[in-house]
Structure 1
Amino acid sequence: MTDTPEKIDYSKTLYLPETEFPMRAGLPQKEPEMAAKWKEMGLYKKLRASAAGREKFVLHDGPPYANGNIHIGHALNKVLKDVITRSFQMRGFDSNYVPGWDCHGLPIEWKIEEKYREKGKDKNEVPVNEFRQECREFAQGWIDKQSDEFRRLGIEGDFDNPYTTMAFHSEARIAGELLKIAMSGQLYRGSKPIMWSVVERTALAEAEVEYAEVESDTIWVKFPVVEAITRTHPEKMDRVMTHTSSLNDDLYGASVVIWTTTPWTIPGNRAISYSSKIEYGLYEITEATNDFGPQPGEKLIFAKRLAEDAATKAKVTFKLVRDVTGAELGAITCAHPLADLGYTFAVPMLDGDHVTDDAGTGFVHTAPSHGREDFEAWMANVRPLEALGIDVKIPFPVDDAGFYTEDAPGFGPSAEGGAARVLDDNGKKGDANKRVMDALIKANNLFARGRIKHEYPHSWRSKKPVIFRNTPQWFVYMDKDLADGTTLRTRALNAIDQTRFVPAGGQNRLRAMIEQRPDWVLSRQRAWGVPICVFADAEGNVLQDEAVNARILEAFEKEGADAWFAEGAKERFLGSEHGGEEWQMVSDILDVWFDSGSTHTFTLEDRPDLKWPADVYLEGSDQHRGWFHSSLLESCATRGRAPYNAVVTHGFTMAEDGRKMSKSLGNTVTPQEVMSQSGADILRLWVMNTDYWEDQRLGKTIIQTNIDSYRKIRNTVRWMLGTLAHDHGDEIAYADLPELEKLMLHRLSELDQIVRKGYDEFDFKRIVRALSDFANVELSAFYFDIRKDTLYCDAPSSLKRRSALFVIRKLFDCLVLWFAPMMPFTTEEAWLSRDPKAESVHLEQFPTVPADWSNEAVAEKWKGVRAVRRTVTGALESERKEKRIGSSLEAAPVVHVADAELLKALDGLDFAEICITSDISVVSGEGPAEAFRLDDGTKVAVEPKLAEGTKCARSWKITKDVGSDAEYPDVSARDAQALRELAARG
């Protein structure tokens, strides 16, 4: 009796993928462990050591405020920065990321004051340096917290030695920058209308306000015409802006009517602006149906385009008496509508380009204490106004608490009922508007009133309205000659022209802001910050003494800016050379934008591991008016150029439906939530997949889309890892590689250019899209699919198999290293899974792609091969759909090719292997009419046929040589040879 041969388990003879790299990522659990490992192993220091001596690439971190948990905007911002620094580090640079924090100013001070209010404490009763210490401790607590949150995101940088604006050295350097500006004559004390927060009792910069819709009182006010300049000062007429002939008597007794949405500014009125480009008319009221105000017979002057609308508001009927010329308007003077309360000065008419007839009356109530354009119009006419005997002094009608002063007769402290108030401590409307309107009605000078909804500036911290008020502040000149033929404005504009902007539109935006901006207001009336550490006399002249400055900076370096507020500071700094009565310490602190604008000095200049200027600054697009802006001005004022070579901006994250994220709408997405549920690499992949230069969206659906994209990438990496478990590291000469492997190497050479250019241009979406499409379409669905049979079944000695392993090794290295800056956790896991002895993927460099991998001839040929393959694949899919075949290995189609070039491309190839069929026939010609064709113009027709032969028990191919080897009767000859070789190897 013959023994039955033992049945072989052929699955154990196949080189199937083997890996412990799981399909399920488990990122929320693995990532914190990996971040902790990086911290423990000192990855940051290893990166610096490995990059020693290389050319530096520096992205300077714009400092977030240290006053709360990070939000999605922080995550977007820091991930972009991390990807940039990592990508340059892995391309041969010393790319050091030093995180920083903005610690001074109102956001933190406001938090401490809130705690005081909760405890019933008064900030002003606490010693200033004690209060400052509480601010310092509060900031440090949030720096520590945010550091942990940024590291959880996978951000790598010098978190053990960051920069902070409250460090003693930083405060000394900020003070030093101010003193440089003061010593060069660019600092001055002036008086201008600025945005003022009554709630916070401080001046605000444009970058510190946001706009919200409010409903305001709106009034039309009559200014009686009382005088003609030509009659009282004919010899001075040529010094006024316009010239005129004789003034007709019918303008006497008429009134110029202005319109304003801020009735409380009427006490600050000093002029009326008009435009000589607008058509005006003199109107007479013929009928009135109002409860107060204008009556029949009154004459009024309006822009002709706006007269009827104003009449409707006042419930009157007009008739046009005659046109009024700009020359006539320039020759008259009006009385103030509240003259009876003490406003007895003349109100001149000023020709101004800012006046339009789009709304209102065509006349602009001009209060230089309460508006930038008003101030500029007034200052532009100071000399001719003085020549006419007009007092040009700008009043201070409103104090820091929003109350009227004695510069507002009838409404100030001595008025009946006390001082009226514009806004109260909670930002609510006070009684100022009502009292002004009541006074105008009493004076018979209120033409009409109403309500209007419009956008109005609010403090972005307190969310309360601001006011515009004239206050003494410290400024930096924008247009003063700096003794070299330049001004701060021209220096800044020239620097903008020398800077690269991504996207390019940022250049025009910043340029427009610099072209239009007024002098830089530096002073803030707060306690927590770097002081404006200068001494000034009563006229505002700044003490310029290098010895005094040296004492100040030495003290700040040792003790911090608290030294300015310490007892005896004045005497300590002035020394014996100057009298304490003549020179007074300035008590204001610096605008925090000056702090952050100075960070380049104590980071880029002072740290040997960085360099000045930075290669790039990257922040949100709002920083054109913020950090980009202040850094540019500070550096141009002290160094004559920008502290950066390139500026990259990102947009803002909106909810999935395009609306602004809001807690009240319940549509906010926090980075903490995404990381705990899906992982930081998912959040980072979302950032990489966005058009971050524009506003982007985030929500559950978008997160899921990125999870799906991530899984495909991960599965591609997983399959490569499993396959490379059987790799012995053979190096195959390029000339010996099959064409398909040469094609894959050619694609790597193309991708290498795309990846490097994408990282250079900060175009991350292009990189992700190219790599993802390559992994999903060209690898998983094409190359890997074709080569699985060879990789799983060929003999160990097979050149084709060893070539495929060689190329997959290169594919793995390239993809994992190229993705490493974007998905640091996943790529680290994959890299260490491939080589457990490696330290970290992040200590590697991007792979060097040999020039000879580029092979356009092979690429062009395989375009044709793949075109024919698509038709075959389509035919097989149709057969599967009709259930005529189950697997493509059951087929042996006949392929008719009528295109000579396509036919030539297939010459010499195992096209059955490429189409994953058991057999295939390629013939020249059109093929029968019933053959399968695609509607893509390809001259290929496919006749589906079934393969003939027996199914191989090992490879599942259907061939006629199954059983040709007696030792292995149920497999093909190829598989029998592989089994024999495997058996010989033991």
Structure 2
Amino acid sequence: MTDKSAPDYRDTVFLPKTDFPMRAGLPQREPEWLARWERLGIYDRLRDKARQAQEQGNPRPPFVLHDGPPYANGHLHIGHALNKILKDMVVRSQQMMGRDARYVPGWDCHGLPIEWKIEEQYRARGQNKDEVDVIAFRQECRKFAEGWIDIQREEFKRLGVTGKWDDPYLTMDFHAEAVIAEEFMKFLMNGSLYQGSKPVLWSPVEKTALAEAEVEYHDHTSHTIWVRFAVQTPGDLQGVNVLIWTTTPWTIPQNRAVAFNPDIAYGLYRVDAVADGASAQPGEQIVLADALADSVRAAGKVEAWTRLRDVKADELQGLVMAHPLRGVEGANGEWDYDVPMLPGDHVTDDAGTGFVHTAPSHGDDDYQLGLKFGLPMTYNVEPDGSYRADLPLFGGQFIIQPDGKEGPANVSVIKQLAWAGKLFAKGKVKHSYPHSWRSKAPLIYRNTPQWFVAIDRPLQDGRDEYGCTIRERALHSIEELVTFTPPAGRNRLHSMVAARPDWVLSRQRAWGVPLTCFVKRGARPDDPDFLLRNAEVNARIKAAFEEKGADVWYEPGFKERVLGGIVNPDDYDQVFDVLDVWFDSGSTHAFVLRDRPDGTPDGIADLYLEGTDQHRGWFHSSLLQACGTIGRAPYRGVLTHGFTLDEKGMKMSKSLGNTVAPQEVIEQYGADILRLWVAQSDYTVDLRIGKEILKGTADSYRRLRNTMRFLLGALAEFDEAERVAPDQMPELERWVLHRLAELDHAVRKGFDTYDFQGVFQKLFNFCTVDLSAFYFDIRKDSIYCDAPDSLTRRSARTVMDLLFHRLVTWLAPILAFTMEDVWLARFPGEDSSVHLQDMPQTPADWLDEPLARKWDIVRRVRRVVTAALEVQRTSKVIGASLEAAPVVHVEDADVLAALRDVPFADVCITSDIQLTSDPAPQEAFRLPEIPGVGVVFERAEGEKCARCWKYLPDVGSHRHPATCARCDAVLG
């Protein structure tokens, strides 16, 4: 029992002193740090630091993460937060590891998303966009983008993202528009640009072609029909029907051929009996693939049929059929043409009939077959998704209506086929179908004149180091020049580039950089002089864009001003399509990396970092664009992250009510909790987030914060005079230095490979297990109770100072706000900031593997002791471990020697301890996973020291009442 008459020595104990609060208050305090960083000009000061290092002959290696530009419309969602926080952790970690890490944020300002918003405003006011002056319309789009850039900039900054926020890059800046045009004109000059009329994915709602990156796939229910094509060729098959199957009935009026595969087994079948309501006719004979006979029979409600014979490939080759709408009343002869049977490798017997109806204007396979065999193109479908007005039977009918819903065209075609006796069967099928990512409406393949970049055409630019064509250069870059994180990104991008068609550059829109080219009147696209290729004209265009932006292209008389004195303006037509916005963002390397003073010497970024969908988006378009202009990829590294899901792994959706807005997380927890969520997650796969996950993240944060708070308190008034050299320190401190050396290597390697999860896990485990639960726990006694000049206390405080400088800089890239708070708690000052610091270099000679192995043994035995004492504490035999003086039985002589070589009682936080090689009695406490060690509980002898609370025999025998020898000496 404690002697209540003993003096109170609490004021003599060196308890931790710090103003660092236990409660973070991040939502309220983070804006103060943001304002402080802005006041200090942290980003610019780091650039000054790099310049000074350069001038002093000690240059910092540059590191540039090139920002993939978000669209300037709408508030940020959690995916934006994930992306920008990852980028910030990359930039901050690279900077603090000694590099000059530059980050220029940017925005994608042109294109359909913004134009669509303005059109929505017009529709709400009953205005017709086509009646508005194009320059006025473009200026409205520009103003809309400017407004959202300001909003998004503040939202990004609130996440703690550092960067050149006062001078970002915008694709709508005049210089950017001039460079985008200049980059386009390089394709004009190197021979890869051409105009072709081929089917492209077309949005009838938005009336424009779309790139694959602007397309998303959703389940869609389509009409499906089986159609008879009557054989006209004299011979055994004359009058027999070849059966095709399609999920796009509206394309039948554009049919120009039927395709078969010579490797498929076909048969001639006679229908013998049908069910009620069947469109199939008893006695008719049809040709189809044998593998699909059962499915066709079921679809046609055929109750009995006979397979008459094989139909060989040489018999099919050269057959001529009648178009199924030939001779239909009211058709006016529109479809009175022959339909050839052609071989095609794309035909399979997986579904359908083994024959593919071929409309070259409405599908890539069909188009390629048409090219090969000279099939004519059709132009029956208008930009708004309707049939041309003068098309017999179907004129003016919509395939997709302006509201995105299905029009009457499919049903009309089906009815006409039924009336013509050519419909064998019909049904519906649910399948994955392309939709516009903006309007969400279904798309169609439509043949239109578009501008393309040929990716397999040898370029006339003299940059042949990595290949002569864009595809060759792109594949070489992927294979040899770029590092992918995670590595699977290489195969993903490689397969996309290897299989992709030519790049469709043109869009039939208004808000964008125009295709700055002129075509010769009366010339055909394949004529050598069809495109005007003139360097002086190009230079004039670029100069005009630099001065007034791309709007100048639309000014009356611009063509005459640019061409005048060089060629006759009347001989040329000006192109008014705008560039695919992916060309805009794909060109950013030129006006950001190449042209800006904070760019890179060679115009190549160290890293592009975006979501995994950008393998077909920005990574892809940047790769193609740069391979066409600089001959290689514009990046040395590509990092991709997954998408954000709710806690159950479901895709986030407003309709499901499972979205997590970054603004809400910040208001409740603070941005550092969001940053910590990113660091704790495996970003290489899809990431989950929700209330329970954030609670767990906040708990990890509190534990880490407590570690830092203890450090700050223990280091109060630390003075350089206290510092102890490592070789004079006790073993326990030297073990901590060893761990720091290990961690320094692991942290730097982790940051260099962008393994933030691995870095944080190592640091979190170190802080909570090695420090809080072990080292701090042991050294509290020395920090609190030893004399200020004691070697152990000074060594501990020296190590804690070394810990502080490393932990705070290692964690600053992740917990940008909190580590600033920790730093300022120790180093206040108007110009002070942890983000102006580098991670300290850690001496390699701190590594001591033999010592680490020894202390691994010590810690394992300590676990047995602490577990044994916990049993006594739970049973209320003791209240604290200092009441104990256990006997530890150790079988292994080397282990026993290691324990006797250290102050094991202090390590176990007991007042005394006995170590013996005697066999452990049966009642001894053991842990199965640590054999050869048994612990017998004994109470400590003596009284409790009123100052340090140890139980020692000498307490009460010194000048100061109720103290032990150590405390009596400290009190003097």
TM-score band w.r.t. shorter chain:
over 0.9
**Contact conserved, 2:318 with 2:342, CA < 8 A, in 1?**
no
Deviation sequence 1:285-318 (CA, Å, 0-9, x none): 1112354633111110011111122122111232
Q: 2:785 aligns with which of 785, 793, 813?
A: 793
Q: Segments of 4+ in structure 1 off by > 6 A? A: none
Q: Which residue of 1 aligns with 2:319?
A: 332
Contact 1:15–1:726 at 8 Å: present in 2 too? no
What's the counterpart of residue 299 of structure 1?
285
Q: Are the counterparts in 1 of residues 361 and 378 from structure 2 also a CA contact under 8 Å? A: yes
Aligned to 1:166, what secondary structure does the other structure show? coil
1:369 aligned residue (361, 379, 382): 361
The AA in structure 2 aligned to 1:31 is: E
Aligned to 2:383: 400
The aligned residue for residue 370 of structure 2 is 378
- How many angstroms apart in 2 are the aligned matches of 1:482 and 1:349? 37
Match of 1:357 among 342, 345, 349: 349
1:83 aligns with 2:72: no
Query: What secondary structure does 1:256 align onto?
Result: strand
User: Which of the numbers 590, 593, 603 marks the counterpart of 1:601?
Assistant: 590
Shift of 1:416: 5.4
**Residues 417/912 of structure 1: CA separation in 2 closer, same or farther (3 Å cut):** closer
Deviations 1:150-183 (A, max 9, x none): 1100001001000000000000000000001101
Q: Cα offset for 1:119? A: 1.3
Gaps of 5+ in 1: 229-248, 383-391, 406-411, 981-986
Indicate conservation of the 8 Å contact 2:493/2:620, yes or no: yes
**Structure 2 SS opposite 1:339:** coil
How far apart, in 1, do the equivalents of 2:946 and 2:278 lie?
Answer: 104
Contact kept, 8 Å, 1:64 with 1:102, in 2: the verdict is: yes
Out of 502, 516, 541, the position equivalent to 1:533 is: 516
Answer whether contact 2:370 2:376 (CA < 8 A) is retained.
no
- In the other structure, the counterpart of 2:61 is 55
- Please tell me whether residue 944 in structure 1 is matched to residue 937 in structure 2: yes
Check if 1:216 corresponds to 2:222: yes
Question: Cα deviations across residues 460-514 of structure 1 (Å, max 9, x unaligned)?
Answer: 1111111110000000001112255621111111111121111111111111111
Instruction: Please state how far the C-alpha of 1:726 moved relative to its aligned partner.
Output: 4.0
List per-residue Cα deviations over 1:399-425 (Å, max 9, x = no partner): 1011112xxxxxx42535742221111
- The equivalent residue for 1:475 is 452
Structure 1 vs Structure 2 CA RMSD:
1.3
- What is the CA-CA distance between 1:349 and the residue it aligns to? 1.8
Partner of residue 347 from structure 1, selected from 315, 319, 339: 339
Take 2:395 and 2:906, find their aligned partners in 1: how far apart are those partners? 96
Alignment partner of 1:614 out of 602, 605, 608: 605
Separation in structure 2 between the aligned mates of residue 312 and residue 969 of structure 1, nearest angstrom: 102
CA contact 1:534–1:542 (8 Å) conserved in 2:
yes
SS in 2 for 1:578: coil
1:158 is aligned, of 154, 164, 167, to 164
CA contact (8 A) 1:548 1:575 kept: no
Hey, what does 1:661 align to over in structure 2? Answer: 652
Distance 2:394 2:266 in 1: 40
CA distance in 2, matches of 1:41, 1:489: 47
* 1:321-375 deviation line (CA, Å, top 9, x unaligned): 0011122111312111111232122212222221111111111111111111111
Match in the other structure for 1:954: 947
Pick aligned residue for 2:470 from 472, 488, 501:
488
Q: Shift in Å at residue 34 of structure 1?
A: 0.7
Aligned residues: 940
Question: Could you give the per-residue CA deviations for residues 267-287 of structure 1, whole angstroms, max 9, x where no partner exists?
Answer: 111111111121110001111
Secondary structure, counterpart of 2:664 in structure 1: helix
Matches within 5 A, 1:795-874: 795-837=787-829, 839-874=832-867
Separation in 1, partners of 2:372, 2:415 = 33
Secondary structure, aligned partner of 2:263: coil
- CA gap of 1:155–1:417, structure 2 versus 1, over 3 A, is closer
Shift of 1:784: 0.3
Q: Deviations over 1:169-201 (max 9, x none)?
A: 000000000001101111000011011111111
Check if 1:645 corresponds to 2:636.
yes
Determine if contact 1:867/1:938 at 8 Å carries over to the other structure.
no
1:689 aligns with 2:668: no
Instruction: Single out whichever of 266-275 and 761-770 deviates more from structure 2.
Output: 266-275
8 Å contact 1:292–1:441 — kept in the other structure?
no
Aligned to 1:389: none
For residues 893-972 of structure 1, the aligned pairs below 5 Å read: 893-966=886-959, 968-972=960-964
Give me the whole-angstrom Cα distance separating, in 2, the residues matched to 1:418 and 1:589: 29
- Aligned-pair CA distance for 1:824: 0.6
1:626-684 Cα shifts (integer Å, max 9, x gaps): 00000000000011100000100000000110110011111100100000100000000
CA contact (8 A) 2:608 2:638 kept: yes
1:694 partner amino acid: V
Match of 1:34 in 2: 33
Quick one: structure 1 residues 869 and 566, their matched pair in 2 at CA, closer, same or farther if it must change by over 3 Å? same
Aligned position for 1:171? 177
The TM-score with structure 1 as length reference comes to 0.94
Distance 2:80 2:792 in 1: 49
- Deviation digits for residues 860-899 of structure 1, max 9, x if unmatched? 1001111111111111011112221111011000111111
CA distance in 2, matches of 1:602, 1:951: 74
* Distance (Å, rounded) in 2 between the aligned partners of 1:193 and 1:764: 45
Q: Which residue of 1 aligns with 2:15?
A: 16
Equivalent in 535, 544, 547 of residue 558 of structure 1 = 547
- The one-letter code of the counterpart of 1:532 is L
Q: Give the aligned partner of residue 251 of structure 1.
A: 237
Letter of the 1:519 counterpart: D
Greater shift, 907-916 or 162-171, is seen at: 907-916
**Cross-structure match for 1:238:** none
Q: Is the CA contact 1:926–1:939 (under 8 Å) kept in the aligned structure 2?
A: no
Say yes or no: does 1:581 pair with 2:574: no
Displacement after TM superposition at 1:429 (Å)? 1.1
Of 113-122 and 722-731, deviating more is: 722-731
Number of the residue aligned with 2:750: 758
Question: What's 1:226 paired with?
Answer: 232
CA distance in 1 between counterparts of 2:320 and 2:132 reads 53
Which residue among 103, 113, 133 is the counterpart of 1:107? Answer: 113
Contact between 2:323 and 2:339, CA under 8 Å: does it hold in 1?
yes
- Identity over aligned pairs, percent: 56
Between the aligned partners of 1:6 and 1:421, the Cα distance in structure 2 is 98
Indicate conservation of the 8 Å contact 2:278/2:301, yes or no.
Answer: no
> Is the 1:175–1:532 contact (alpha carbons within 8 Å) kept by the matching residues of 2?
yes
Q: CA deviation at 1:969?
A: 1.9
- 1:681/1:824 contact within 8 Å kept: yes
Structure 2 contact 274–281 (Cα < 8 Å) conserved = yes
Cα deviation digits, residues 91-110 of structure 1 (max 9, x gap): 11110110000000000001
Relative to the length of structure 2, the TM-score reads 0.95
In the alignment, structure 2 segments of 5+ residues that lack a partner are: 55-59
Q: Distance in 2 between matches of 1:832 and 1:905?
A: 41
Corresponding position: 1:635 with 2:622? no
Residues in 2 aligned to 1:543 and 1:960: alpha-carbon distance in whole angstroms: 102
- Per the TM alignment, residue 576 of structure 1 is displaced from its structure 2 partner at its CA by 3.0
Report the CA distance between 1:929 and its aligned residue.
Answer: 1.4
Query: Structure 1 residue 502 and structure 2 residue 501: aligned?
Result: no
* 1:8 Cα deviation after fit: 4.1
Q: In the alignment, what sits opposite 1:673?
A: 664
Paired position in structure 2 for 1:239: none
Does residue 135 in structure 1 map to residue 144 in structure 2?
no
Partner SS state of residue 192, structure 1:
strand
User: What is the CA–CA distance in structure 2 between the aligned matches of 1:115 and 1:875, rounded to whole Å?
Assistant: 74
Letter paired with 1:509:
R
